[in-house]
Amino acid sequence: MATTSMTMAKALNEGLRRAMEKDKKVLLMGEDIGKLGGVFRITDGLQKDFGEDRVIDAPLAESAIVGTAVGLAIRGYRTVCEIQFDGFVYPAFDQIVSQVAKLRKRSEGAYTMGLVIRLPFQGGIGAIEHHSESPEAYFAHTAGLRVVSCSTPNDAYWMIQQSIEHDDPIIFCEPKSRYWEKGEVDLDNAPHGLFDAVVRREGNDVTVIGYGSSVKTILRAAATAATEGVSMEVIDARSVAPLDIAPMIKSLEKTGHLVVVQEAPHTASVGSEIVAELTERCFYSLRAPGIRVSGYHVPYPPSRIEDDYRPSVDRILDAVDRVMGFES
């Protein structure tokens, strides 16, 4: 098994490159993705190698980036749209919800909406407003879409390729705060299916579920908890919609305690959905109510105080203590 160490940003870049080499119908479209390589450099060098017809520098209009990708999909192309930042996806919301999500059904399968909408999401980079949001719930709520998130370079490399090959439209959430962290990438074999939840650390006392940037924070919390004698099982949901609920149930049957972590506020969120699903499906395995650790219900704060908004190791450990202490 040949593995290479690279950052998540590079892994996405390599994944896109490989997808473009494999299928000539794969196009990239977004703002500043050509010469600049995107504001995060995810598409660095791809326009030079694949040309301006396949790596399309878009005028600055998000609805058009997605809307024209719909037309390209009808024509048989697979377009990977880059939305520059999470907070700029809303101009495209209408196209995503009214068209991308519904056209396969409306055409009873005549159209394949094989497009991927890449969304750098979550905070933690000290940015100004609109650059740190977690809008995944809006899309998870919409039938016809799928929403996934990578948390490691290896997942980034494989999940972007799996998303491009998939015939359903996929909102691909990239935890931008993890772009520059390195990890081992296996260039030969995909580690998991695109929609599989994965146990990142085994444990016996409490199941803690997260996705995107939260996974690493949870793993840090688990290391600390271990020194205090608490054994955390950490699950990376990876697929936010649909949820891969079976491994979560299996874990809860063992631990009986549930904490879900997300950067989004928790009202009507993916975290709420995970708690509700698990409460419904394994009520008798639960020894305490599931607890959500989320962003607060406020507009994303100025980034000088974002670390007190985003779930921290301390807040996760506090939730673990509360859920573990429920019975006594």
**Nearer residue to other proteins within complex by CB, 142 or 255:** 142
Q: Is 63 in the site for other proteins (CB under 8 A)?
A: yes
Q: Which of 17, 18, 41, 102 lies at the binding interface for other proteins (CB under 8 A)? A: 102
Rounded to the nearest 5 degrees, what angle is found at the Cα of 307, between the Cα atoms of 302 and 310? 95
DSSP 99: I
Residue among 130, 131, 257, 297 flagged as catalytic: 131
Q: Is 193 in the site for other proteins (CB under 8 A)?
A: no
130 is catalytic: no
Number of residues that bind other proteins (CB under 8 A): 44
Output the DSSP codes for 219-285: HHHHHHHHHTT--EEEEE--EEES---HHHHHHHHHH--EEEEEEEESTT-HHHHHHHHHHHHSGGG
Q: Is 95 in the site for other proteins (CB under 8 A)?
A: yes
Distances (CA, A) of 55 to 47, 110, 145, 293: 5, 26, 24, 39
Contacts of 86 (CB under 8 A, 6+ apart): 119, 120, 121, 122, 130, 131, 132, 133, 134, 135
> Binding pattern to other proteins, positions 117-156, x when CB under 8 A?
--------------------------xx-x----------
Q: Is 76 in the site for other proteins (CB under 8 A)?
A: yes
User: Where are the alpha helices (H) located in the chain, listed in sequence order?
Assistant: 8-22, 46-50, 62-74, 93-94, 103-106, 136-140, 153-165, 214-227, 246-255, 270-281, 313-324
Contacts of 169 (CB under 8 A, 6+ apart): 96, 100, 101, 113, 114, 115, 116, 117, 144, 145, 146
Q: Is 91 in the site for other proteins (CB under 8 A)?
A: yes
Q: Which of 4, 17, 39, 68 lies at the binding interface for other proteins (CB under 8 A)? A: 68
Q: Is 245 in the site for other proteins (CB under 8 A)?
A: yes
For residues 158 and 156, give the distance between their C-alpha atoms in angstroms, rounded to a whole number. 6
Q: Is 181 in the site for other proteins (CB under 8 A)?
A: no
Q: Is 305 in the site for other proteins (CB under 8 A)?
A: no
Q: Which of 49, 107, 184, 302 lies at the binding interface for other proteins (CB under 8 A)? A: 107
Q: Is 72 in the site for other proteins (CB under 8 A)?
A: yes
**Nearer residue to other proteins within complex by CB, 223 or 246:** 246
- Residue type at 145 in one-letter notation: L
Q: Is 21 in the site for other proteins (CB under 8 A)?
A: no
Taking the complex as a whole, how short is the minimal distance between the CB of residue 279 and other proteins, in angstroms? 16
Q: Is 53 in the site for other proteins (CB under 8 A)?
A: yes
**Nearer residue to other proteins within complex by CB, 165 or 181:** 165
Q: Is 281 in the site for other proteins (CB under 8 A)?
A: no
Nearest-10 Cα torsion for 91, 266, 130, 309 = 180
Q: Name the residues that contact other proteins, by CB under 8 A.
A: 27, 53, 56, 59, 61, 63-64, 66-77, 91, 94-95, 98-99, 102-112, 143-144, 146, 166-168, 242-243, 245
Catalytic positions are: 131
